[in-house]
Chain A
């Protein structure tokens, strides 16, 4: 009884006090605030955390914590933003919990209460959409570093910018016209018939759609397209269906996330499924994937925009990754590196704008020209298409797993390891 009254009192006080508190302006020191909206709870939380880590390191570099390192990055040699009187950057994190209306409300809250000058997020395409829409409605710049769904840049938005490569552009201009021919030229063999495996949400569906569209345009034949519910309890029927066309399969084109990937590779091994090439559109980035599978993950090919191996030819990669590893205990990966570059790009634009005025920032973003040497990702630079905000210099790499590690295998001129194709059958691996 007593407890009940106390609980009710507490709940009502929380409710009222919280609503009141929401009205109170947060005291702001002289700094420029950027809002980052990521999945910090739920199944994508590991990725969300990686994004925040990338953003945090970028913030510290911009604010001058690593001036001594003399990094070849925008704003790394000064403390804070020089054109704004040395104002520091602060990245504020918000959790969207994979829920669109929460992403929207977080975007609005960050804009109106935390007074952010720009937003970055949200990793999941279906959540990035409403968040960036909220930003667009309020004319605040929104930078997308992860979500690759083509729809995001087709909305005619003026304040939306994306640094990562568009999935459609990848499939249209690279996958079948550069990557596959490169491999075949070097290794021989033929890739004519492909099987497509995709998880049933936004990203997987789009990847399968563009993958098959451009495969067909380039004369390839789709044997089967298998869409499955993400995080299924059992994937044997999916693998069965793949096995039914195994004899003719030259390549497995997949769009799967880590959890299902783990189960798939185990099932491939168990049911002896041996396509000559296994390619994933970039969902296997968490360390957990490699840890869980050990040698079973060998030879998987994945499209990525960052590889530690890049450090061999690009010193800035090694320098930043070392700092990251010292700070967080793990190497960077595509998630952390893209958001790192995202924050750098935003800060760079704000600095060039010389103010936190949205319109000025937008113009500055449109004028962005960050060269390749200053990008730790695999891009040829950062330059936004004025019609839709897409980074036209974004290109991807191909990584392949050897001995439980991702190694850079393509483009060949920056590769550190020889791409293996066709991959050995399970029985031939020991």
Chain B
């Protein structure tokens, strides 16, 4: 029987998971918005952040909460490095080649993870954030709540950064018109590297937060990344608000379709939603292009 409690529980679970999808999507969107390159290694970046949190915990007893800034910084560096060594030389090549450079990077990264750390599933057993909040028959896990809260905070910070700071304006300018921006003294290379760094840091944060309640292994990034791509397209390439909200929508659709239709069709429903929206609004819900 479908009680209001169950509906509410589903709503909350969907929202919380959605916030995580949202932050991952925002990172992807940032990179895309800047130079129209989809980072197909995004899921693997997340996986690296998760392994980082795991090893910090296992080797040094560092709780994921404390690894959070570390995750953000390390992923920032990885993002910048990716831009510098791979993407920078490919700005003028075809869309196809760009996709495959990051795709190849993704394959390399998850294989390297298996090589270094084996394919075994890992887990952080006793994070600081554990347990749950019980209100009547509604249960909300602390890790998920905290993760969602931090994703929202992260997003708000990003929004402020993009729209209210000079750096953010420079990012926007460079994405609109690279040449004009450089005429204005904006070093486009630096800006793009920054974009990659920030976008990767986002997914790094999401990854570390996930380790509080999700398992870790080399291919963990795949499904999350796939959802992120759909979220960005659904929200509209180029709008980080759109990506964020789309991520949350997807979280809700996943939870409710699992409950009301069939868990076997959770992801199917997400894709159907996407196709329906895209049919009427090809540029996504909040898309610019």
**Which residues does A use to contact B, with CB under 8 Å?**
41-46, 49, 200, 226-229, 231-234, 236-238, 240-241, 243-244, 258-259, 262-263, 266, 270-272, 286-289, 291-294
Contacts and interface: CB of A to CB of B under 8 A. Distances in A.
B215 interface: yes
30 contacts: A43-B119, A43-B217, A44-B119, A45-B118, A228-B263, A229-B263, A231-B223, A233-B17, A233-B214, A233-B224, A236-B17, A236-B255, A237-B256, A237-B266, A240-B9, A240-B13, A240-B259, A241-B263, A244-B1, A259-B215, A262-B121, A262-B215, A263-B215, A270-B139, A272-B134, A272-B139, A287-B120, A288-B122, A288-B123, A289-B121
A69 B132 CA distance: 52
Q: Which 4 A-B pairs have the closest CB atoms?
A: A237-B258, A292-B123, A45-B119, A236-B13
A240 B2 CA distance: 10
Given A45-B114, A259-B215, A263-B215, A227 B223 contact: no
B10 A240 contact: yes
A351 B55 CA distance: 48
Nearest to A271: B139
A43 B259 contact: no
Contacts of A237: 10, 13, 254-259, 263, 266
B227 interface: yes
A270 B122 CA distance: 19
Nearest to B267: A229
A299 B215 CA distance: 21
Interface string B119-151: 111110110000010100001010000000000
Nearest to A200: B264
B223 A233 contact: yes
B10 A229 contact: no
B263 A292 contact: no
B263 A227 contact: yes
A286 B123 CA distance: 13
A234 B255 contact: yes
A208 to B, nearest CB: 11
Contact of A294 (B6, B125, B132): B125
A232 B266 contact: yes
Interface string B256-278: 11110011101100000000000
A240 B266 contact: no
Given A233-B254, A236-B17, A288-B121, 20 more contacts: A42-B219, A43-B217, A46-B121, A226-B263, A227-B263, A228-B264, A236-B14, A237-B10, A237-B13, A237-B254, A237-B255, A237-B256, A237-B258, A237-B263, A241-B259, A262-B121, A263-B214, A271-B9, A292-B122, A294-B125
Contacts of B111: 41
A227 B13 contact: no
Contacts, number: 115
In this complex, the member of B123, B215, B259 whose beta carbon has the largest number of chain A beta carbons within 10 angstroms is B215
A136 to B, nearest CB: 30
A292 B254 contact: no
Contacts of A244: 1-2, 6
A243 B219 CA distance: 30
Contacts of A291: 123, 125
B213 interface: yes
B146 to A, nearest CB: 14
Contacts of B263: 226-229, 232, 237-238, 241
A263 B132 CA distance: 15
